[in-house]
Structure formats: structure tokens, C-alpha cells
Copies of this chain bind each other. A is one copy, B any other.
Amino acid sequence: MGEFELIAKLTERVGAPRTPGAIGIGHDCAALPDRDGYLLLKCDIAVEGRHFVRGLIPGADIGWRIATATCSDIAASGGRPAAALVSLGVPRGCPERDLEEVYDGLAEAARAYGFDVLGGNVSGAGELFIDVFMTGRGRRFLPRSGAKPGDLVVLSGPLGDSAAGLEVLRSGGSLDHPLALRHRRPRARLDLVDALQASVHACIDISDGLSSELNHMAKASGACLTVERRRLPVSDALRAHCTQTGKDPVDYALSGGEDYELLFTVPRGGGLQPFGGLGTRVIGEVVAGSGVLLDGKPLASTGWDHLRSQP
């Protein structure tokens, strides 16, 4: 059983939410309705040896990345981050300096994304972990499940750079390699929130690779997403890297995670208008049916599973 199935199955044991209008499992964030729209709730965890390797990237990058992951989910749900709590598991002998660096990255993210860090919790643990609990607020909740036949499928930017950047770092490449920088410092697309609020039907952030997120959205929406390989945006840096290594940049986009771009659908005829000048790219359309088609052929999910995989 994978991580999504496990947490869904466990949460189901507790029963359906009793708060009217509450949104539970199955979207990028949980949500509670309030007078101004929705309170958005998200937690995400980074465990040493699974989500990061201490020493491969600076500690501040670890803090930045986990904050970005949660802010990306808030953005995908149509909100802006407000406040965070942070739980730390600290192994015996962990230098305090390592924790300070992680927090310096959290502080940079707090300034860049506009949230407060209001406290948290620390415990001894066998390995270093950082669990970020992010709250946010949004007027309208953007579900994964709203894709409608006839919608355009849109991507907010190029994918695969982060996964390629991790490879560059693992093979001894420079921290300043353009792909390494994309791995170290992905950006949550909070710049898109107003446009998303204006017109999207369904939205999901790409934390586990495009093939995985397309399948999540298709399944949640009860529709088929059909996308074209030639329309997938590829960065110049990834193209140059693949020319050297002989690999296919689309493989990185489909299976590589942690780019934190957004995948969403908008109605044809005006739905794209709010995104003018924001660098988004139409990659396909929604049709009746189920599953995902890439150039007309079924595309399975090949994304990341944090229970099964190690980085």
C-alpha cells in the first residue's frame, strides 16, 4: 500500500468530517469554511535519508524546500499562506548549527511567501525530521476534482529541472549549476493565485511528477486528461543537460518530482485570459472517459512514493 492509500484509509477510520462544508482527504489541502472563504490546512514532512540528505545541499535549502512544498499546496487550493508551526525530530549529537540553518531557510521562505512561523515543537528522534504545518486562507477552494470535458489542461511552467538538478548534485556537480539551483530553491507559484481564483475548474501542484498528478486529477474528476508530448514545456537548462547525457527531458517531467509548478484546467473561451503574461502553457484537454492519455496512449503514474522510495 502506498502513502496516499494508507493515509486515506487511516483517515477514513475516523469518519467523515462533521463540520459543515469541511474538506478532508483527496485534495492538496484540507479546509474549513470560515466567514471569508476557507481556512486551508496542510502538513508536509521531510525525513533525513528519505526526503533529503544532510550535506548534499545547505541546511537552509532543506528549510526552504519543505516550506515551499506546503505553500505550493496552499496555492494549488487557491489560497495564500498565513502561519506555520514546525515540529522537529532531533537525533542525538545533531549540531545545533544544522537546525539553525534549516530555520534560516524557513525564515527566507516566510519572507518570500508572506507567512509567520508561530512556534512548534521539538523531540529527540532517531533521525532528523522536519514537519511543517501550514495554514492559509482562500476565498474559493480549488479542488482536484473539478476538471470538465472541454476544459483546457494547463501547466504553469517547465518540469523536470528539480529531478535533473538532484542528479547533477549527486554526481558531484556544482551547487550553482542552474538545475541544481532549481532543485535547491523551487518556487511556490503564489503569483498565480489571483488568476487561479478567477477561472480554474481543478488544480493540483506537481510535487510527485506530472504522470502522477495527471492521474490524480483524472481520477478525482471522473474524466480523461489527454496531453501532448510536444506541448510539454522544457527549460533550456534541462534541454542542454539532456543533450549531454542522451536522456529524454520528457522522462524527467513525467516522473521527476518537486518542481512545484501547478497543473490546472480552465474552461475554453476566456478561461486562459487571467493567466496572460504568467508563462503558463496549454498541454492538452479534458475529454469524457477516464485515465490519462499521452499522445493518445495510456499514461500510468510513475511518480514518487515516500513510503516506497528513498531519494
Contact = CB atoms under 8 A, between A and B. Distances in A.
Contacts of A89: 45, 47, 89, 129
A128 to B, nearest CB: 10
Interface centre among A100, A107, A121, A127 (most CB of B within 10 A): A121
Contacts of A24: 116-119
Interface stretch (A80-88, A190-198, A211-219, A252-260): A80-88
A294 B100 CA distance: 38
A85 B122 contact: no
A186 B11 CA distance: 23
B11 A307 contact: no
Interface residues of A, number: 67
Contact of A122 (B6, B104, B106, B123): B6
A14 B106 contact: yes
A22 B89 CA distance: 25
Nearest to A91: B126
A71 to B, nearest CB: 14
Interface in A39-68: 39, 41-45, 47, 50-51
Given A14-B106, A39-B135, A41-B85, A126 B123 contact: no
A17 interface: yes
Contacts of A44: 121
A119 B45 CA distance: 14
A248 interface: no
Nearest to A118: B30
Contacts of A45: 87, 89, 121, 123, 131
B83 A133 contact: no
Contacts of A107: 13-15
A18 interface: yes
Interface string A24-37: 11000011101110
Residue picked from A3, A50, A119, most chain B C-beta under 10 Å: A119
A110 B14 contact: yes
A306 B87 CA distance: 13
A242 B274 CA distance: 72
The 8 closest A-B pairs by CB, nearest first: A30-B118, A17-B116, A133-B133, A14-B117, A126-B126, A14-B107, A24-B118, A25-B119
Given A6-B99, A125-B127, 4 more contacts: A7-B120, A18-B116, A41-B85, A47-B123
